Structure 1
Amino acid sequence: MRTEREQRLIDTVAWVRIEEGRILCARPRGKDVFYIPGGKREGAETDLQTLIREIREELTVEIAPDSVAHVGTYEALIPEAVVRMACYTADYSGTLAVSSEIEEIAWFTYADRPQVPPVDQLLFDDLAADGLLAG
């Protein structure tokens, strides 16, 4: 059995889009769980490059690079790895729409917290504590 230090790291970047106390979440095709939109870094991509690419691929909108602001970085242990999620807010242009990767998008409140993975739940907790996410 691996120790916590030996766990594989899943390094992700996520887009925190909050409107009217609700946060945008996406459910990938073939999955039952919703996630904060974003995804895994490819190669030597920066957080900004990963964020722009992933959001374009998943939601067909363009992130405004000059508006990107770090919200926080969260880590959660899952059975096979440690998930690290660097979270950013950003303005965007275009119309939010599902892509071939995404089955469904939804706007969640804190009450929907059980429907997202453990690392996303940490973000939900902070947003709710800051009064940004409705109950």
Structure 2
Amino acid sequence: MRTEPARKLIDTVAWVRIEDGRILCARPRGKDIFYIPGGKREGDETDLQTLLREIEEELTVALVPESVEHVGTYEAPLPDLVVRMACYTADYTGNLAASSEIDEIAWFTYAHRDEVPPVDQLLFDDLVAAGLLAA
């Protein structure tokens, strides 16, 4: 029997912020591609702890913990790894702004689908199917 080599798992959480049919995306410093804001957990952080920390670090706002709701978890297999992204909505306080980690923030519609990674594209597909993301 031949077994597949184990793929490395990149386990992330993301903040799904939709306004007027557009989703908030961020381009990290030194990268050419936009992502749904969020990131990888540190140590034994929970999804909630990771989400709160990452969004404050990237976008200078504080998510309201009581408002956080899971909207889905997506996995995209790539040649030598799998990217898992647990997605959450949440209210926030403060003013959205790119931090020192982020070069640019933008509001995307489904037309921008090709400008985000494969795992983010899965989320875009679900959001447009649900009528939440403008074409």
Which category describes the TM-score, using the shorter chain as reference length? over 0.9
Identity of matched residues, %: 77
The secondary structure found in structure 1 opposite 2:106 is: strand
Residue 27 of structure 1: aligned partner = 27
Residue 79 of structure 1: aligned partner = 79
Residue 17 of structure 2: aligned partner = 17
Q: Distance in 2 between matches of 1:78 and 1:55?
A: 25
Deviation, 1:80, is 2.9
Residue 47 of structure 2: aligned partner = 47
The secondary structure found in structure 2 opposite 1:57 is: helix
For 1:110-125, list aligned pairs within 5 A.
110-125=110-125
Q: Distance in 1 between matches of 2:98 and 2:26?
A: 8
Q: How many residues align?
A: 133
Q: Distance in 2 between matches of 1:29 and 1:79?
A: 25
- The AA in structure 2 aligned to 1:55 is I
- The AA in structure 2 aligned to 1:79 is P
The secondary structure found in structure 2 opposite 1:123 is: helix
Residue 100 of structure 1: aligned partner = 100
Q: TM-score, normalised on structure 2? A: 0.96
Deviation, 1:78, is 1.7
Which stretches in structure 2 are left out of the alignment for 5+ residues?
Answer: none
Q: Which has the higher mean CA deviation after the structures are superposed, 93-102 or 74-83?
A: 74-83
1:38 is aligned to 2:35:
no
Deviation, 1:77, is 1.0
- The AA in structure 1 aligned to 2:4 is T
Structure 1 residue runs of 4 or more that deviate by more than 4 Å after TM superposition:
none
Residue 66 of structure 1: aligned partner = 66
**Aligned-residue CA RMSD (Å):** 1.0
Residue 109 of structure 1: aligned partner = 109
